[in-house]
């Protein structure tokens, strides 16, 4: 598919010939497009590469290779891969040769740079239509259909749009990213003189995660707000992103400013943008995304200005009601708390946390989509330990075979057997039991997923049993408790809130992203020897995570929590 790499801030991306944008720029933050092309930003601080993203890219590449091999086998003599090592220019030249020869299917195609318009891109497959001309096809690793009807599809082994039929079992799951990428390739094919003529509206195909069909998109159909077609939406967006990039490359006033949005979490420019936003006291530090934009438009551009508003009063008339995001009163309280240097404030006098005679804090470590390799558990007996009770303390149930591995099923089954064994013995003795985690989505997903993937393995529960555990009031999500009873100015992550309870991780580099780097080393994922030190580090990290949830709930149940000011006291 079209590469995710932004155009560089020099050379092809911003040189004499002007900027060259790949399709990724169309769905990226506009400020990111600016920074990617601003030569003066070349030395600015950037975040380390996100290992989860790197893993997703590696998985996508593997998926693509698999699909390519299957297609090649089915296509026989029609299949023409661009198998030229070296730079994109060489592959573009080979693609041009294959187009000139009229090759029916061109795999791994690189299109000629469209310097006039400022585009660059490559297609997983170019499909030649009867009568000449090519349409693009992308291979992606996400779902592209839902149950339903109406998608225009062909078999994967028959990737020709002229044979597409209305699918009685699938409806399109729309992905703006795919549609815009297909539109960019369509414009590039037109610029190269390789687009079909006289074949009706432009089309492009996508093969998704399940690789069960090719979905063919009509790029003129009105899928976008206001009934705009994909090509029209693409042209407008491309013109905007190109203007942003060109202004940046030429050192003209920036056409895009930083504003905190969801994408910031995984953006390499976050350290730079964060510093700018902090220095400007920008309102988006507290009110992210669209909420921040609306506040700024209404003249509330800083955290200080937001803090001045009356949380109990009506929403200022210039703001839309309801304002998206958190309630208005919460936004003002967050702004005030931040202004006073507080990371946490309480919403109510007491903070109810379910407690039990026997308690287990649980934390799972996973590696991208590859699997969950470690289940950690901290057992405590607040109601008093009785004879026959399991030894209190931390336990780890882990596999150190590189994921994906069936040994993951073994370690999960052992964890499950131990956890439910403690629960059942506790309840059988007439006592109460509770298990805790922080943000149950991940744990629930992997418990259910493991039960499904390793069904039938020794000790493996059924998904019905796992669901019953999840639905039991004895499974407590502390993230939900924190969300309900506190406002947190720096986010509600465990690493942010546990320090308020006096907890500190032993490892100063403890964090989800770092743990993924340690994991690679711990299992020798990159071809090296497994690193026992990193294994110990992961175990300590996991042990600290469960100790943190334990410390957090002890704190919330104690009078110490009253030291945190109430929202009404700000």
Structure tokens at 349: 């006098």
Query: What is the per-residue binding string for ligand SF4 in 156-185, x denoting contact by CB under 6 A?
Result: ------------------------------
Q: How far is CA 542 from the centre of its chain?
A: 22
Measured distance CA(92)–CA(551) in Å, rounded: 59
Minimum distance, C-beta of residue 278 to ligand SF4, in the bound complex (Å): 12
Map the footprint of ligand SF4 across residues 315-374, applying CB under 6 A: none
Map the footprint of ligand SF4 across residues 515-544, applying CB under 6 A: none
Minimum distance, C-beta of residue 258 to ligand SF4, in the bound complex (Å): 4
Secondary structure of residue 204 in the 3-state scheme? strand
Nearer to ligand SF4, 33 or 419 (CB): 33
Nearer to ligand SF4, 354 or 512 (CB): 512
Minimum distance, C-beta of residue 245 to ligand SF4, in the bound complex (Å): 13
Total number of residues binding ligand SF4 (CB under 6 A)? 13
Q: What is the DSSP string of 442-475?
A: HHHHHHHHHHHHTTTSTTPPPHHHHHHHHHSTTE
Structure tokens at 17: 């010939």
Map the footprint of ligand SF4 across residues 262-321, applying CB under 6 A: 263-264, 267, 269-270, 273
Nearer to ligand SF4, 64 or 237 (CB): 237
Nearer to ligand SF4, 263 or 407 (CB): 263
Tell me phi and psi for residue 369, to 5 degrees.
-95, 5
Examine residue 342 and say whether the peptide bond preceding it is cis (omega within 30 degrees of 0): no
Nearer to ligand SF4, 296 or 336 (CB): 296
- Sort 165 into a burial class: Cβ within 10 Å, 0-12 / 13-18 / 19+: exposed
| Contact call for residues 298 and 290 (beta carbons, < 8 A) | no
Nearer to ligand SF4, 257 or 405 (CB): 257
Minimum distance, C-beta of residue 280 to ligand SF4, in the bound complex (Å): 12
Q: Does 244 bind ligand SF4 (CB under 6 A)?
A: no
Map the footprint of ligand SF4 across residues 23-42, applying CB under 6 A: 29, 31-32, 35
| Contact call for residues 137 and 216 (beta carbons, < 8 A) | no
Measured distance CA(170)–CA(153) in Å, rounded: 9
Nearer to ligand SF4, 94 or 177 (CB): 177
Nearer to ligand SF4, 158 or 263 (CB): 263
Helix boundaries (H) for 49-175: 51-75, 88-101
Measured distance CA(291)–CA(259) in Å, rounded: 11
Closest CA to 564 of 497, 518, 479: 497
Q: How far is CA 24 from the centre of its chain?
A: 15
Nearer to ligand SF4, 261 or 329 (CB): 261
Minimum distance, C-beta of residue 302 to ligand SF4, in the bound complex (Å): 17
Minimum distance, C-beta of residue 324 to ligand SF4, in the bound complex (Å): 18
Closest CA to 168 of 190, 140, 145: 145
Minimum distance, C-beta of residue 23 to ligand SF4, in the bound complex (Å): 17
Minimum distance, C-beta of residue 296 to ligand SF4, in the bound complex (Å): 13
Looking at the DSSP bridge assignments, the partners of residue 125 are 107, 137
Nearer to ligand SF4, 279 or 464 (CB): 279
Parallel, antiparallel, or unpaired: how do β-strands 433-437 and 358-367 relate?
Answer: parallel
Measured distance CA(272)–CA(40) in Å, rounded: 12
Map the footprint of ligand SF4 across residues 433-472, applying CB under 6 A: none
Helix boundaries (H) for 281-327: 289-297, 303-308
Map the footprint of ligand SF4 across residues 254-273, applying CB under 6 A: 258-259, 261, 263-264, 267, 269-270, 273
Nearer to ligand SF4, 23 or 172 (CB): 23
Measured distance CA(190)–CA(112) in Å, rounded: 11
| Contact call for residues 510 and 456 (beta carbons, < 8 A) | no
With tokens 């000629």, the residue in question is 112
| Contact call for residues 21 and 113 (beta carbons, < 8 A) | no
Residues that bind ligand SF4 (CB under 6 A): 29, 31-32, 35, 258-259, 261, 263-264, 267, 269-270, 273
């Amino acid at each position: 598919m079209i590469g995710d790499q932004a155009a560089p801030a020099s050379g092809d991306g911003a040189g004499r010939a002007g900027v060259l944008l790949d399709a990724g720029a169309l769905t990226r933050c506009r400020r990111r497009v600016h920074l990617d092309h601003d030569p003066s930003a070349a030395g600015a601080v950037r975040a380390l590469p996100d290992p989860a993203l790197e893993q997703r890219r590696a998985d996508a590449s593997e998926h693509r290779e698999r699909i390519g091999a299957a297609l090649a086998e089915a296509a026989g003599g029609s299949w023409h891969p661009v198998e030229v090592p070296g730079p994109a220019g060489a592959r573009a030249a080979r693609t041009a040769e294959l187009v000139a020869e009229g090759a029916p299917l061109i795999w791994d195609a690189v299109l000629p740079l469209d310097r006039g318009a400022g585009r660059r891109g490559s297609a997983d497959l170019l499909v030649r239509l009867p009568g000449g001309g090519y349409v693009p096809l992308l291979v992606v690793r996400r779902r592209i259909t839902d149950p339903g009807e109406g998608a225009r599809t062909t078999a994967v082994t028959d990737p020709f749009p002229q044979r597409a039929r209305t699918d009685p079992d699938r409806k399109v799951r729309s992905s703006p990213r795919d549609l815009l990428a297909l539109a960019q390739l369509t414009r590039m094919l037109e610029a190269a003189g390789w687009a079909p003529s006289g074949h009706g509206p432009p089309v492009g195909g996508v093969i998704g995660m399940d690789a069960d069909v090719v979905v063919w998109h009509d790029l003129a159909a009105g899928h976008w707000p206001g009934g705009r077609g994909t090509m029209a939406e693409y042209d407008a967006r491309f013109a905007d992103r190109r203007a942003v990039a060109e202004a940046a490359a030429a050192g003209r006033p920036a056409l895009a400013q930083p504003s905190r949005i969801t994408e910031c979490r995984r953006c390499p420019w976050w350290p730079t943008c964060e510093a700018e936003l902090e220095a400007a006291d920008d309102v988006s530090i507290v009110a992210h995304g669209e909420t921040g934009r609306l506040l700024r438009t209404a003249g509330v551009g800083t955290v200080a200005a937001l803090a001045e508003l009356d949380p109990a009063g009506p929403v200022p008339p210039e703001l839309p009601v309801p304002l998206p995001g958190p309630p208005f009163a919460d936004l003002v309280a967050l702004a005030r708390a931040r202004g006073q240097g507080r990371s946490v404030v309480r919403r109510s006098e007491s903070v109810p946390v379910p407690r039990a005679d026997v308690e287990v804090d649980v934390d799972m470590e996973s590696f991208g989509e590859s699997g969950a390799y470690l289940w950690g558990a901290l057992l405590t007996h607040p109601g008093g330990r009785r004879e026959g009770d399991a030894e209190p303390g931390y336990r780890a149930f882990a596999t150190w075979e590189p994921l994906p591995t069936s040994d993951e099923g073994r370690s999960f089954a052992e964890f499950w057997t131990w956890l439910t064994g403690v629960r059942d013995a506790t309840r059988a003795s007439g006592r109460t039991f509770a298990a805790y985690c922080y943000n149950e989505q991940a744990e629930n997903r992997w418990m259910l997923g493991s039960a499904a993937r390793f069904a039938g393995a020794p000790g493996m529960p059924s998904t019905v049993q796992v669901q019953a555990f999840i639905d039991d009031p004895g499974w407590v999500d502390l993230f939900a408790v924190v969300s309900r009873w506190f406002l947190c100015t720096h986010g509600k992550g465990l690493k942010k809130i546990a320090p308020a309870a006096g907890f500190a991780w032993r490892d100063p580099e403890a964090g989800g992203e770092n743990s993924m780097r340690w994991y690679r080393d711990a299992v020798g994922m990159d071809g090296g020897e497994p690193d026992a030190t990193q294994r110990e580090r992961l175990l300590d990290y996991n042990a600290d995570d469960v100790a943190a949830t334990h410390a957090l709930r002890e704190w919330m149940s104690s009078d110490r929590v009253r030291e945190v000011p109430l929202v009404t006291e700000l």
